[in-house]
Structure formats: C-alpha cells, structure tokens
Amino acid sequence: MRIGDFHASYRHDEALFDTRAQRVWLGLLLAALAAFPFVGGSYLTYLACLLGIHLIAAAGLNVMTGYTGLISLGHAAFMGVGCYAVAVAERAGIPFFLALPLAGAASAAIGLVVGIPSLRIKGLYFAVATLAAQFVLGFVFREWESVTGGVRGANVPAASLFGFELAGDRRVYFLIAPLAVLMLLGARNLFRTRVGRAFIAIRDRDISAEVLGISLFRYKLAAFAIGSFYAGVAGGLWGYFFRVATPELFGLPLSVFYLAAIIVGGLGSILGTILGATFMTLIPEFLRALVGWAEAFGLEQAGVYLAPLRQVVFGLLIVGFLVFEPHGLAEMWRRTRRFFHLWPFRT
Amino acid sequence: MSGAIDWLLLAEFSLVGLLSGGVLALIALGFVLVYKGTRVINFALGEFMMVGAYLFWTANVFLALPWWAALALTLAGVAALGALVERFVLRPLAGQPVISIVMATIGLGAVLHGLAEAVWGGANLSLPELLPRKPLLLGEILLPGQVLWSFALAVALIAAFTAYFRWSKDGVSMRAAASDPVTAYAMGIDVRRTQRLTWMFAGVTGAVAGIIVASMTSLSPSLGTVALGVLAVVILGGLDSIAGAIVAGLIVGLLESLTVAFVGGQARDLVPYLVVLVILMVRPYGLFGTRDIERL
C-alpha cells in the first residue's frame, strides 16, 4: 500500500507531476520514445507516427468537447484546413517550423468563425452546426481546385531543415513525437490555468459560469480556437507524414473516429485522450491481424468481411463504453490503480 | 442563363423540387418523432432507412413475396429493431449528457451499416419500381411520375401520423410523456412503453422513406447518408414540430432543385447545410420549434 503524498511547499503543490515515481516514469517514457524508431521495426514506427497525429487531434477535440462541452462533428475538417495550409505554405517556400504553426493558426481562424454560433445555440443544435461546417469545408476542399487540387488532392513536399529532408517514417517520427509530447503537456497544463478552469465551469453549467463572471462568448471561442489549433497542427503533420491532402481523408468518418476515441478514453481527461486514441488506433490493426489469421486457417472469405467487421466493432465499442463505462478507459485505469494502492486493506 | 429568366424552366424545377421535398419531409418526420418522444436526435435514422430497404429487398426480390406481404414483414422487422434499440441502447443512457446520446446513435449507425454490408454485400442492388413512372403533364410542365407518387405517399403518411399523434390514446400519452415524463408517470402513463412505441414508429417511418428512396435510386449500404442532409431540414423546421418538418422539407426540396437548375449539380449537397448554418445564426429554434427557456 502506498502512503499519502503530502504537499509541503507551494512549488510541490503546483508541480505538474507531483510524485517522484511519476517523474521517473516520465523520464523513462521519454527515453523509450527517443529510442523507439531504432528498436521497433518500420511497421511499428509507422503506427507510432499515426498515433502521434491522432493524439494531437484527439487532445484538441477533448479540449473542446470533453472539457468545454462543445460537441464538434467537424474536427476532421479542421485537420483538413491544417493539411491544405501546409501544402500551400510549402508551395510558397515556407519551412515546416513556420508552416505548422501557420496551419494551426489557419485552422483556429476558421474555428473561430464556426464557433460564433456557439453563443446562441448549444448541445444538439451546436453539434448540427459543426456537422454543417464539416460538409461545407469538405465542399470547399473538393471544389476550390486552384488551391486544394480538387478531388485529386494536393501533394505536400517533405519537411526539410537546412537541406535535410524529413522523409521516411523514421525521420518524420522525430518531428511528430516531440510535438505530440509537447502539445499533450500543453493541454494538461491548460487546465491548471484560469482559462482551463473557465472551460470546465462552462461545461458544467454555462449560465452559472456566466453569473460568476466568465465571459461565455470569449471562452467558448477560445476553446474552439485552441481545439482547432490542435487539429490544424495534427493536419499539418498528417500532410508531412502522408505527403498528400485529399478531400475524402478529412470527412465525417474521421471526425466520428476522434469523438469515439475521446469517449472510449474518457471525456475531460488527458490520460483518457492518450488511452483512447491509442486503443482506437490499434483496434483496426488488431482486426486486420485477426482476419489475416482467419484467412491463414482456411477461411478465404474472411478478407471480404474486414471492412464491415471494423465498422461493427467500432460502433459496438462506442455504444458499449457509453452504456457500461461512461468515463472510459481512464476510469478503468484509475480503478485498477486504486485497487493496488489500497490492497490488501480494501479490495 | 443569359438574359431573361426561363420562367417555364423555373416553374418546372420549382414544382419538382417541392414534390421531392415530400420525401425529405417524411425522413424529417422520423427525426421529429424521436425527438418529440425522447429528446434524442437519432443519427442512425439513415441506417434505419437502409435496413428497411434491404429487408424489403430480401422479402420482395430474394424471397419473391408480393409487395404487401414484403412491406408488412419489413415494417414488423424495423419495428422490432426500434424496440430493441430503445431497450438496450437508449434506455440505459437516460439522463446522460447530450454527447453520450448523440454518440450512441452514431455508434449504432456504424453497427447497422457494418452488419448490412456483411449480410447483403457492398454492391448496388435495385428494388423493383413500386411507383408508377407515368409522368403527369401540366400544360407544358412535365412532372415525373415517381416524384409525384412519392410525394402523395409521403403526404398520406405524414397526415396519418399527425392524426395518430393528435387523437389516439397512445399518441396523447406519447405527447404527455415527452413534455413531462415525471408527471406522465404520476398520471399512470407507462412512459417506457410510449418510448418504445416512439422508436418503433421512427423505425417504420425510416423504413418507408428508405424503400421510397431506394426504389427511385438504388440500394447500397450508403443509402443512409441522405438522412444527414435531412437533419438540416429538421433544424430549419424546428426539432419538435411536425408542421415545421413538412414546411422545411418543401423549402429545402425547392432550394435543392433550383440549385441544380441554376448553379450546378455539385452544389446541391451543400444547400441543406448552408441553410442550416444561416438558420442557426438567425433563428436557432427553427421556424416552428419551441424556444427553450433555461433556468438555473
């Protein structure tokens, strides 16, 4: 059993990671992340890059939806904005370390416009407004050919630093992984500040928050801008990773995927974002492996059922978590930890 | 369109648009019924439509039953599906935040979509043409028969549902349970039963709309995507207003048709969403919806 952790100084009280064990594990994790692409094979490195992008995007959505209570069905479209912004910026010769923040900013600017109705409408109505934004932006991606390349899409050149090209999964990994760590830390830190606390107050009861002096308009827009900024950066990284931006990549299914990830992980929890995004990224890979085995054992038809199987499992996961574990994987993790902390006194 | 507007073309497209708005209104009715009865937007309505159409195809084409038997089987099937969904998905989620319920219906949609694709395959199937094709000539304006008949069918169904809601005992208890579940319980209304009925009716309207849409176009697992556009219709009319659903269905049908005529085919899918964005900015509770009053 672990004994209590007493905060003896203000610095200790304010620390982001407050126990020694946490800091040690975090250090080990960072070391493992740095070594990962050299130890894991190319497939695992690819998955890690994909996961990094998903983590950033899901964290942004959790800031909006999980912490502030603004349901967004248009997150993928904001990623698309980021991705196309990177494509355009690279065409203009802007290096990646400026292009990525620009992508975030472009996405945040559009997020501000979409967020404006949030002052008058909320809940279901707002969800439908973001759904509309998703389709309108998708239409723009398809039809504004001079910028987006239409249905065929736009190519994104490799990110390069002083002539050193970040091409190939392993090199891009060292662009994605540090950014993912940084942005997750940023999201975690946000909720210790006035702004983050205001978001939570708005989620819990917006009218009460306004009575307490929190400007709903300003903070709802801020939440939307931050969330879309994350989406924009994730979209930019997506561009550098896959090297192409096409409209159908950033459709409604991807938006729903991120919502599913934060629900499965846990709304309003950064740990939940990480667990949920990881889980939802790995599930399709697991299913593919499963179907591969089934084929190896003589079920030749199994391949046909991969896509439907994926959808069914995806839907069942969403419904199942909502019905049986509404606080998601983060809550399961907390429960497991508590069990071991209190063992053997309380089981 | 240089010079004078072609009035005849305008009239023809307007009429066709208005008539095709009937089907939109029917789908919208599926949303409104569930929202009125249970305060849930059913994002899986499109999948209900698709499942209904597939069941009908199985009964009518695959098993070669006559159309009325196939229709009866289909409606029984989707009603059972609606009841199951209410019991095992929505009832455990009662009282949860909006996002949970929205996501539950989206997840449900994914499950139904995947199952349909696994059972019936992803290819396009075609339903027999149920509605007569013979066009109607009004002077120089030509109205396609299918559009005309689907409109008539939609109007009849909507009228039937409205009458049922207004005058039947179940309809009255559904309205009571929707407006105040606690009082409804106290008055001896079985609220669970009314909610189950609501979902069964939603399934039935969805299936009929699905069969109409599938018989006019073709049947594939992505049939349900029409429904998302109809959400815009529902928002325009007001989420809890049947009259609103009808008027808005006609308006959106008209706008879509005119867009196809004067702007171009690609812009058509955009119309409902632009309408919804404008409406939400100007009049968030829709044309006929009740305004929510919030208290602390």
**What CATH number is attached to the domain comprising A124?**
1.10.3470
Q: How confident is the model at residue B212 (pLDDT cuts 50, 70, 90)?
A: confident
What's the CA gap between B233 and B250, in Å, rounded?
A: 9
pLDDT digits (tens, 9 = 90+) for B46-60: 999 999 999 999 988
What's the CA gap between B274 and B284, in Å, rounded?
A: 14
What's the CA gap between B97 and A204, in Å, rounded?
A: 11
Neighboring chain A residues of B96 at a CB cutoff of 8 Å = 322, 326
What per-residue confidence (pLDDT) applies to A2? 60
- Taking residues B119-141, what's their average pLDDT? 74
* Contact yes or no for A256/A171 (Cβ under 8 A): no
**Which residues on adjacent β-strands are paired with residue B142?**
B137
User: For chain B, what percent of residues have pLDDT higher than 70?
Assistant: 94
Report the relative pairing of strands B136-138 and B141-143 from DSSP bridges.
antiparallel
In this complex, the residue of A207, A256, A267 whose CB is nearest that of residue B106 is A256
Q: Do B114 and A312 touch (CB under 8 A)?
A: yes
Q: Do B266 and A135 touch (CB under 8 A)?
A: no
Q: Do B107 and A309 touch (CB under 8 A)?
A: no
Note which residues in 12-31 of chain B have CB less than 8 A from chain A. Answer: none
What per-residue confidence (pLDDT) applies to B133? 67
* Contact yes or no for B285/B273 (Cβ under 8 A): no
Task: Tell me whether residue A244 is in a domain.
Answer: yes
Q: Do A315 and B99 touch (CB under 8 A)?
A: no
Provide the strand spans (E) within chain A.
Answer: 154-155, 159-161, 164-166, 244-245
Q: Name the amino acid, one letter, at A173.
A: Y
Question: What mean pLDDT, rounded, does chain A reach?
Answer: 88
For residue B143, the 8-state DSSP code is E
Q: Which contiguous run of DSSP H or E holds residue B241?
A: none
Task: Tell me whether residue A211 is in a domain.
Answer: yes
Q: How many residues belong to chain B? A: 296
User: For chain B, what percent of residues have pLDDT higher than 90?
Assistant: 16
- Taking residues A314-341, what's their average pLDDT? 91
Question: What mean pLDDT, rounded, does chain B reach?
Answer: 83
Q: Do A129 and B280 touch (CB under 8 A)?
A: yes
What per-residue confidence (pLDDT) applies to B107? 93
In this complex, the residue of B89, B266, B273 whose CB is nearest that of residue A135 is B273
Rg (Cα) of chain A, in Å, rounded?
21
What's the CA gap between A273 and A54, in Å, rounded?
A: 10
User: Could you count the other beta carbons within 10 Å of the beta carbon of residue A17?
Assistant: 13
pLDDT digits (tens, 9 = 90+) for B146-183: 778 888 888 888 888 888 888 998 888 888 888 888 89
Number of structural domains, chain A? 1
What's the CA gap between B171 and B194, in Å, rounded?
A: 9
Q: What residue has token string 């439509």?
A: B49
pLDDT digits (tens, 9 = 90+) for B25-41: 888 888 888 888 888 88
Best mutation target among B273, B283, B291 (most A Cβ atoms within 10 Å) is B273
Helix axes A124-143, A252-265, angle to 10 degrees: 140
pLDDT digits (tens, 9 = 90+) for A157-194: 887 777 777 777 888 899 999 999 999 999 999 998 99
Domain range summary for chain B, segments of one domain joined by +: 24-120+145-282
Name the residue range of residue A70's domain.
36-342
In this complex, the residue of B115, B232, B239 whose CB is nearest that of residue A132 is B232
pLDDT of A300 strictly over 80:
no
What's the CA gap between A45 and A32, in Å, rounded?
A: 13
Helix axes A96-115, A124-143, angle to 10 degrees: 130
- The answer, yes or no, to whether the previous bond of B132 is cis (omega within 30 of 0) is no
What per-residue confidence (pLDDT) applies to A190? 93
What's the CA gap between A178 and A182, in Å, rounded?
A: 6
User: Could you count the other beta carbons within 10 Å of the beta carbon of residue B171?
Assistant: 18
Q: How confident is the model at residue B18 (pLDDT cuts 50, 70, 90)?
A: confident
Q: Does the CB of B62 have a partner CB in chain A at under 8 Å?
A: no
pLDDT of B2 strictly over 70:
no
Q: How confident is the model at residue A212 (pLDDT cuts 50, 70, 90)?
A: very high
Q: How confident is the model at residue A4 (pLDDT cuts 50, 70, 90)?
A: low
What per-residue confidence (pLDDT) applies to B1? 43
Best mutation target among A67, A128, A211 (most B Cβ atoms within 10 Å) is A128
Tokens of A125: 């109505």
What's the CA gap between A267 and A61, in Å, rounded?
A: 10
What's the CA gap between B159 and B175, in Å, rounded?
A: 17
In this complex, the residue of B112, B276, B296 whose CB is nearest that of residue A132 is B276
Query: How many CA atoms does the CB half-sphere of A342 hold within 13 Å?
Result: 9
- Taking residues A284-291, what's their average pLDDT? 89
Q: Do A307 and B122 touch (CB under 8 A)?
A: yes
A341 against A321, higher pLDDT: A321
Q: Do A322 and B100 touch (CB under 8 A)?
A: yes
Separation in Å, CA of B63 to nearest CA in chain A: 24
Q: Name the amino acid, one letter, at B262.
A: F
Separation in Å, CA of B20 to nearest CA in chain A: 22
Instruction: Name the residue in chain B with its Cα closest to that of A119.
Output: B281
- Taking residues A297-314, what's their average pLDDT? 83
Q: Does the CB of B278 have a partner CB in chain A at under 8 Å?
A: no
- Taking residues B75-81, what's their average pLDDT? 94
- Taking residues B67-75, what's their average pLDDT? 90
* Contact yes or no for B245/B165 (Cβ under 8 A): no
Neighboring chain A residues of B280 at a CB cutoff of 8 Å = 117, 120-121, 125, 128-129, 132
